[in-house]
Amino acid sequence: MFNKIIKITSFLGLVLLPLKTFAVCPVCAVAVGAGIGLSRYLGIDDVVTGLWIGGLTVAMIMWTLDYLVRKGWRFKFDVLTVTVGYYLLIVVPLYFMDLIGHPLNVFWGIDKIVLGTMIGSLALWGASEWYEILKKNHGGRAYFPFQKVAMPVLSLAVLSVIFYFLTK
């Protein structure tokens, strides 16, 4: 068990270390596929990996929508278009790489990567919304430095630990 905790901590460290990323979506999809391969090599369950894929996807959606607003490039169905576009850019390559869709790689009757991606997406979105509510109730300020980053990352980390134990 201690060995697994070291592996998870190492994987999370690798994910959290990059300070600045300039991503191109097809490259992201390939990087996510490589990340899944690395996480499988480290023995991390696909549900846990999916949590972080979902979180990353929602973060990219939020960054893109914020960029569009700042540039004044709003258009009809922009939120829907960006959201569907990112999920297609992530899920479709994973499907064709045979990382999604294996009938024996399921948890609760759902593909592990898809389940993790859905839960991770909801967790990051929910934590981000909760941060905004807390900030609004605190005079427009965060309660502590880097709260905007800590809350979503902490939600994914807690869920990772929970699903680690649920899948073992």
109: left (phi over 0), alpha (psi -120 to 50) or beta: left
Instruction: Print burial letters for 73-87: b (CB count within 10 Å at least 16), e (below 16).
Output: eeeeeeeeebbeebb
In terms of residue numbers, what domain contains 43? 25-166
Q: Are 42 and 7 in contact (CB under 8 A)?
A: yes
Residue 62 forms part of a structural domain: yes
Give bridge partners of residue 94 from the DSSP assignment: none
Q: Are 149 and 110 in contact (CB under 8 A)?
A: no
Please give the single-letter amino acid code of residue 77.
F
Question: What is the SS3 assignment for 1?
Answer: coil
142: left (phi over 0), alpha (psi -120 to 50) or beta: beta
Please give the single-letter amino acid code of residue 100.
I
Residue 131 forms part of a structural domain: yes
- pLDDT for 22 equals 38
Q: Using CA atoms, how far apart are residues 134 and 123, in angstroms rounded to an integer? A: 16
Residue 8 forms part of a structural domain: no
Q: Using CA atoms, how far apart are residues 68 and 70, in angstroms rounded to an integer? A: 6
Residue 20 forms part of a structural domain: no
Residue 51 forms part of a structural domain: yes
pLDDT in tens, the chain (168 residues): 555 555 555 554 444 444 444 333 444 545 555 666 677 777 788 898 888 889 888 888 888 888 888 888 888 888 899 999 999 988 888 888 888 888 888 888 888 888 999 999 999 888 888 888 888 888 888 778 877 777 888 888 888 889 988 888
Residue 2 forms part of a structural domain: no
- pLDDT for 20 equals 41
Residue 129 forms part of a structural domain: yes
Number of domains in the chain: 1
Residue 14 forms part of a structural domain: no
Quote the Cα angle for 61-65-71, to 5°: 145
